[in-house]
Each structure stands twice: as structure tokens, then as C-alpha cells.
Amino acid sequence: TILIAPHLFSDAPHGNGIKFLFRDYYDQFVKTLEYISLKNIENCLWLVRPHPSSKFFGEIGVVEEVLNRFNHKPNIKLCSISTVRTSDLVNFCDNVITGKGNIGLEFAVKGKYPIIAGSAPYSGLNISLEPKTQKEYFKFLDQITSLKKLTKNQILRAKKVMYYLDKVDNLSFTVKKSFFKKNIKN
């Protein structure tokens, strides 16, 4: 089970001059679904969850509209924001595909590789798959069912990065204090 977690489409993927593999977040989302559909990567259940803040930015229904183009694919499903919590998806899904979102770090903390299409606060730390081109990005999608889990050292690094970004850098992860008590032991 793979989670596709698109960003807010109105957000700026090239903020601060950061390279992004696609024209924008919408382009990444559409091309990812097209690729999965065309390649018939059917040995996966692909869950698509709109960004939790989409209602605040007038984007309600955009993800659903795109998904309607792929309604003939029984293995691509919408995961409602109101029905399933992000923390449940992090536990349930095997990997996540995102642009450069914090959800990638949440998956890394659980030992699951995120595939990101741009530079994130946790980039370059060997806790995410960071393709350099669209071709490499799609190659990672082809191999997604054979991805290994992160090592204990990588998981510890991810936890430290999450702690730093949340507590020191004040990135405002919406992680409860109980998460740190349970997950950060070193």
C-alpha cells in the first residue's frame, strides 16, 4: 500500500530557488497518476490523500477531479481527510510519494522510505529517496514494491531531524508529545 500525498497545489514548489522535478505540485500529482496507470503497476494499492489544509486554500475537490480520470483503475483509491488520520496512514502504508512534504519525514521515522520530488528540510540525510530527474523518479515508482526498510541508524537520524525541526527550528509538525515519548529513545 503506497500513499500518494500531494501538496497544496497553490503552494510554491520553487520557493527559495529550490529545484523541483516537475513544473509544480499539480503537475507532479497528475504525471504520477498517469505513470502508475499506464505502467499498470497493479501489485500495489495506491491511496491518494488530499493535503489536510486544502479546504483552507480553496482546493476542495481538485484531487477528486483528477482521480475521476483514473476511476477505471481499481487499485487507485481516494483516502478522505475526514475519515483517516495521517498518523494511521503512516502506520498502515508501506511508503509515501510526496513533493517535499513533512509527511516524508514522518514515514522515515517509521522506517519507511519516502520518495520526494524536490528538496525538503530532511534532504541529503540518506533517509529519503531523492531522484535527480523525472526519469529517475519514475524508476523509483517501478521499484517501489522492492524498497528496503530504513536501517536503525537511518531511523534514529530521522527521529533526531524531526525533533530538531519541531522543537528547535519550530517547523510546527503536528506531532503529539506522546509521539516523542514513544519513538525517540536515543
| pLDDT given for residue 91 in this prediction | 94
Query: How does DSSP classify residue 97?
Result: E
| pLDDT given for residue 17 in this prediction | 59
| pLDDT given for residue 60 in this prediction | 82
Dihedral sign from CA coordinates of 45, 67, 97, 8: negative
| pLDDT given for residue 173 in this prediction | 52
Q: Of 114, 112, 137, which is closest to residue 28 (Cα–Cα)?
A: 137
| pLDDT given for residue 175 in this prediction | 46
Q: Which residues of the chain have pLDDT under 70?
A: 13-17, 42, 169-186
Query: How does DSSP classify residue 181?
Result: H
| pLDDT given for residue 172 in this prediction | 52
| pLDDT given for residue 153 in this prediction | 97
- How far is the C-alpha of 143 from the C-alpha of 186, rounded, in Å? 32
| pLDDT given for residue 39 in this prediction | 81
Cβ atoms < 10 Å from Cβ of 123:
15
